[in-house]
């Protein structure tokens, strides 16, 4: 045992390693990414990979668990939507080893498009859901999840959230165990889901479910005493524990929000007079407790989402309000105070090639005489193109959605759309959309922003390091494929103009690839001193283009409207040089060793 300060995600990774995980696969997504990274760093005997998408990651873990290994798949909540097809089947077949799916949910949508409550997946698939409340319980419960899965031969969903994944705290940890590997074993009557087998599996699944319902009892507990019962699931326990302090209440502390432990819940309900269910987002536990009370003929007043906010993450003030009301105390709802502060949304980094691509695209389309089009966006750092001054993400729905949405826009309006997708997202779920564009002849420009990295989640690798996107597009039947360097403003804008004209004339899809490395990746490879941009004050007219339309964070306006360079932010990339119409910006300092290679290889 050793106590260390770790991030919640590191605790989950170490817990998996202490459980003998042999195969771990994931697709990066906030707040889940550090789990696989940590396993890669510390599990030298474990096979860990970044898969091309969550479905492949889940299947990889599932395949390993079929062979009897202990396997882990990690993803953010919306990633589970991508893996859902395989997830549903895994509940039918069960597994021979251990199969744990970590779903890192993101209530309040700190870095996500929605805040879906993935405990519902457990309900839909009949898979037990285990929920921790802090990094220590995450470590302990991920170990329980592996044990549980191996004992009942059924997958387990381990549902965490941002305030567990990204909380740093002391965690008591055991040693890492040797991986529990699989061995080749074939059982097609179980794993080949033709209707005959699937029908039998369905009955087996319900039989396992009976066992699971009983077995979850051991993962839950009752604390305190009183006539008022608070049922707290997962992270809700952390808030409830702090809010109740010395009040006389009984707490049913749930680590399994689905299924709830029937016997323990009935025990907690005994001699209780009133019940409050505190849980984040959806009334999953509340529904089950009400259902149980109804079937057992227990008539008690029960509160839940009438007092606990259904949107956003739980906070102390939300839980304080709910528990206070429940205990009959005077509590005021604390409203957010609105302060008049300039907004500071996230921004593309200095040297980000996406900024140049957005500028090039706007100019190139203008040169082709296209005044109005639809920018069908996607998920990645380039999603920030939604912000002014770019305004080049008219929709961004889900990973890989840019192509299908663009098709729908064209079919319903006749307007030729621009689909914009990153390289990692292209390989994640962009390929079927591209196949469809060829197959159904969608006139559109697909702009792939290829920075050879899954940049937004921390520069994990991308398949584009190994597969040439131009060859993929050509191989899939795209007739018009061109690549450009987004920092080369004149060439890029010319190519975009010609491409737009080709699509208008031929009414077929064209693929453009904007190729330059993520600036953070490029900088990691450079050791020498960086060059810096310099503004010639005699040439600068104060036209504002560099800081108001290009918006590099390193270019700061002076009181006289002229531009100046913030030396603490400038990385010397030179992207701003061709943007200045008065040629007032130049580069000072030598190119460091390996500079062009770092950006362009």
Residue list for the binding site for [4Fe-4S] cluster: 540, 543, 546, 552, 570, 573, 576, 580
Task: Identify the sign of the CA torsion 524, 526, 528, 533.
Answer: negative
Q: How does strand 532-535 pair with strand 585-588?
A: antiparallel
Binding site for another protein (CB under 8 A): 3-5, 7, 30-31, 33, 110-111, 133-134, 163-164, 166-170, 235, 237-239, 241-242, 313, 315-317, 319-320, 334, 336-337, 339-349, 381, 383-384, 387-389, 456-457, 547-549, 551-553, 556-557, 568
583: left (phi over 0), alpha (psi -120 to 50) or beta: left
CB-nearer residue toward another protein: 91 or 160: 160
3-class DSSP assignment, residue 555: strand
Paired tokens of 486: 């987004």
Distance of closest approach, residue 342 Cβ to another protein, in angstroms: 5
Phi and psi (nearest 5°) for 23? -130, 125
Cα separation, 109 vs 100, in Å, equals 24
Distance of closest approach, residue 345 Cβ to another protein, in angstroms: 6
Distance of closest approach, residue 473 Cβ to another protein, in angstroms: 27
Distance of closest approach, residue 324 Cβ to another protein, in angstroms: 12
- Sole residue written with tokens 């098709």: 407
Cα separation, 290 vs 443, in Å, equals 54
Cα separation, 199 vs 295, in Å, equals 29
Q: Which of 259, 158, 269 is nearest to 214 (CA)?
A: 259
- Sole residue written with tokens 């502390």: 253
CB-nearer residue toward another protein: 228 or 355: 355
Cα separation, 358 vs 512, in Å, equals 13
CB-nearer residue toward another protein: 295 or 568: 568
Cα separation, 491 vs 559, in Å, equals 34
CB-nearer residue toward another protein: 258 or 550: 550
Q: Which of 240, 241, 285, 237 is nearest to 261 (CA)?
A: 285
Paired tokens of 310: 């259904």
CB-nearer residue toward another protein: 210 or 245: 245
Q: Which of 60, 52, 115 is nearest to 90 (CA)?
A: 60
Distance of closest approach, residue 52 Cβ to another protein, in angstroms: 20
Distance of closest approach, residue 167 Cβ to another protein, in angstroms: 5
Cα separation, 573 vs 119, in Å, equals 45
Paired tokens of 219: 């993962």
Name beta bridge partners: 250.
Answer: 224, 229
CB-nearer residue toward another protein: 408 or 542: 542
């Amino acid at each position: 045992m050793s106590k260390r300060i770790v991030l919640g995600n590191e605790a989950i990774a170490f817990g998996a390693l202490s459980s003998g995980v042999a195969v771990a696969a994931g697709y990066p997504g906030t707040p889940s990414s550090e789990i696989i990274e940590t396993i890669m760093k510390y599990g030298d005997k474990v096979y860990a990979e970044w898969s091309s998408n969550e479905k492949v990651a889940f299947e990889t873990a599932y395949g390993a668990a079929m062979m009897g290994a202990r396997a882990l798949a990690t993803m953010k909540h919306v990633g589970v939507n991508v893996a859902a097809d395989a997830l549903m089947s895994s509940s039918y077949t069960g597994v021979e080893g251990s199969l744990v799916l970590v779903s890192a949910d993101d209530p309040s949508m700190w870095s996500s498009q929605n805040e879906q409550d993935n405990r519902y997946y457990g309900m839909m698939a009949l898979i037990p859901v285990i929920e921790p409340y802090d990094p220590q319980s995450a470590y302990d419960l991920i170990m329980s999840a592996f044990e549980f899965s191996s004992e009942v031969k059924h997958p387990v969903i381990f549902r965490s959230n941002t305030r567990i994944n990204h909380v740093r705290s002391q965690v008591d940890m055991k040693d890492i165990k040797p991986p529990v590997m699989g061995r080749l074993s074939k059982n097609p009557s179980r794993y080949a889901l033709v209707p005959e087998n699937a029908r039998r599996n369905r009955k087996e699944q319900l039989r396992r479910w009976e066992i699971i319902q009983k077995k979850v009892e051991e993962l839950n507990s009752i604390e305190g005493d009183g006539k008022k019962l608070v049922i707290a699931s997962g992270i809700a326990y952390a808030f409830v524990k702090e809010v109740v302090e010395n009040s006389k209440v009984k707490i049913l502390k749930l680590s399994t929000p689905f299924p709830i432990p029937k016997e323990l819940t009935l025990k907690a309900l005994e001699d209780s007079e009133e019940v409050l269910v505190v849980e984040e987002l959806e009334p999953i536990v509340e529904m089950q407790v009400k259902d149980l009370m109804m079937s057992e003929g227990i008539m008690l007043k029960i509160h839940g989402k009438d007092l606990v906010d259904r949107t956003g993450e739980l906070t102390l003030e939300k839980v304080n309000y709910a528990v206070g009301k429940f205990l009959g105390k005077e509590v005021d709802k604390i409203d957010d105070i609105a302060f008049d502060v300039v907004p500071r949304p996230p921004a593309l980094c200095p040297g980000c090639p996406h900024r140049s691509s957005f500028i090039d695209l706007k100019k190139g389309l203008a040169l082709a005489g296209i005044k109005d089009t639809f920018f069908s966006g996607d998920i990645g750092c380039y999603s920030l193109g939604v912000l002014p001054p770019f305004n080049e993400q008219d929709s961004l729905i889900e990973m890989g959605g840019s192509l299908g949405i663009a098709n729908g826009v064209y079919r319903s309006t006749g307007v030729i759309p621009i689909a914009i997708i990153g390289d990692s997202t292209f390989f994640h779920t962009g390929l079927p959309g591209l196949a469809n564009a060829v197959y159904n002849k969608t006139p559109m420009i697909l702009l792939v922003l290829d920075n050879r990295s899954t940049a937004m989640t921390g520069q994990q690798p991308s398949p584009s390091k190994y597969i040439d996107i131009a060859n993929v597009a050509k191989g899939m039947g795209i007739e018009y494929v061109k690549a450009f360097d987004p920092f080369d403003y004149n060439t890029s804008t010319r190519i975009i103009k010609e491409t737009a004209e080709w699509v208008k004339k031929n009414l077929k899809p064209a693929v453009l690839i904007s190729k330059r490395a993520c600036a953070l990746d490029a900088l990691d490879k450079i050791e020498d001193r960086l060059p810096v941009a310099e503004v010639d004050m005699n040439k600068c007219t104060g036209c504002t283009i560099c800081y108001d339309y290009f918006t590099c964070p390193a270019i700061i306006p002076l009181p006289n409207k002229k531009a100046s360079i913030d030396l603490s932010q400038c990385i010397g990339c030179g992207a701003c040089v061709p943007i200045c119409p008065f040629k007032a910006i130049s580069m000072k300092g030598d190119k460091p060793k390996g500079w062009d290679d770092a950006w362009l290889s």
